[in-house]
Chains A and B, each alone.
Chain A
Amino acid sequence: MSYSDAHIWGIIALLGVGTFLIRFSFLGLVGNRELPEWLLRHLRYTAVAILPAMVAPLILWPEANDGDPDPARLAAAAVTIGVGLFLKNPILGIVAGFATFMGLGALL
């Protein structure tokens, strides 16, 4: 990354303050306010909506491979998803995926 130190600290500060304000939002308001149902419905899907959008190009068009699909990365991704889906264990998913990536990388 090519940001200055001050720039990086600025990002950390903005993220820290922003995240705190999100967490404090309803706790900060005294009284019991209910969120409207339509808003809750959208908030439930924030994590499963943002993270896949971020990860898809990284898996399909990895910069380290000049933006071309790489069999080792695709296989590793499939293994991580499989382990995550069936064993519900994220750490195991990362370990299995990375082992696949390293193993195929050594073979191919």
Chain B
Amino acid sequence: MTQAISPRQAFWNGARDAAPFTIVVVPFAVLFGVVGTEAGLNLAQVMGFSIGVIAGASQFAALQLMSDNAPTLIVVASALAVNLRMAMYSAALSPHLGPASLGARALVAYMNVDQTYALSVQRYEDAPPLSTRAKVAFFFGTSLPIVPLWYAGTLVGALAGTAIPASWGLDFVVPLTFLAIIAPALRTRAHVGAALASVVAALLLAWVPWNLGLLAAGVTGMIVGAEIERRTTPPGTAPRRPA
């Protein structure tokens, strides 16, 4: 008879599992701080993004559109569209954390990012099973190396950003950041198809005012990706959760 895993143990297991991801999280956070400052945000606003939103890709998306002085609605809608995948994360966590208190679930939701979600769901489906309290503790454990370092990295970047002259052409880092996020995500033909369709639509619709073409291109890419997946995946074998 094995002993049940205590919430304390689960917390530290989560922290240990998440530790390697700091290698990715910290440079992105620093980069956001630097380019946010270069784009004209003050220190408080840069930190406001990283503490209030904690979602790298959407923060960079908002920053890029704000540099183009896009309308508020477009900035918010596009950046939120980048985060829509997190509804999926929420749905995947809810069978495990549904019995937890509302406060705990709200705090989990706040820190529900790619890494914490993926590590937690992976652990919840593994043996030995965890109690609800241990599951919550594991999730908070995975957040321990990720979330504070996201804030700290942004702060370091923002402070460094004020010292970097605009002539370095750092604004070009933002498009490169998007490409660097997209390329490793092109895992299947459906992902490649979604990205290509979205590029073609975006270029064809570049004339549409207020960046509305961007949203239309995004929806086009989603539909194309979903349709390719539907046609190439035999019924009943669809992945249960995003990889």
Contact = CB atoms under 8 A, between A and B. Distances in A.
A85 to B, nearest CB: 5
A50 B221 contact: yes
B5 interface: no
Nearest to A63: B68
Residues of B in contact with A, size category: 35 or more
B39 A19 contact: no
Contacts of A44: 85, 88, 190, 225-226, 229, 242
A108 interface: no
A1 interface: yes
Nearest to B26: A91
B135 interface: no
Interface string A31-42: 111110110111
Contacts of A12: 45, 48-49, 52-53
Contacts of B85: 43-44, 46-47
A45 B176 CA distance: 20
Interface centre among A49, A52, A90 (most CB of B within 10 A): A49
A94 B198 contact: no
Contacts of B169: 64, 101-102, 105
B27 interface: yes
Nearest to B117: A23
A53 B218 contact: yes
Contacts of B98: 27, 30-32
Interface residues of A, number: 78
B198 A50 contact: yes
B147 interface: no
B91 A33 contact: yes
A67 B16 CA distance: 47
Given A26-B91, A50-B82, A80 B180 contact: yes
27 contacts: A15-B79, A16-B48, A16-B52, A18-B80, A22-B83, A27-B90, A27-B98, A32-B94, A45-B221, A45-B225, A47-B57, A49-B195, A49-B218, A49-B222, A49-B224, A51-B61, A52-B196, A54-B64, A56-B199, A80-B179, A83-B180, A84-B181, A84-B182, A85-B184, A90-B183, A93-B179, A97-B176
Interface of A: 1-3, 5, 7-16, 18-20, 22-35, 37-38, 40-64, 73, 76-77, 80-85, 88-91, 93-94, 97-98, 101-102, 105
Interface of B: 23-24, 27-28, 31, 39-42, 45, 48-49, 52-55, 57-58, 61-62, 64-69, 72, 75-76, 78-91, 93-95, 97-98, 102, 105-106, 108-110, 112, 169, 171-186, 190-191, 194-199, 201-203, 206, 213-214, 217-226, 229-230, 238, 242
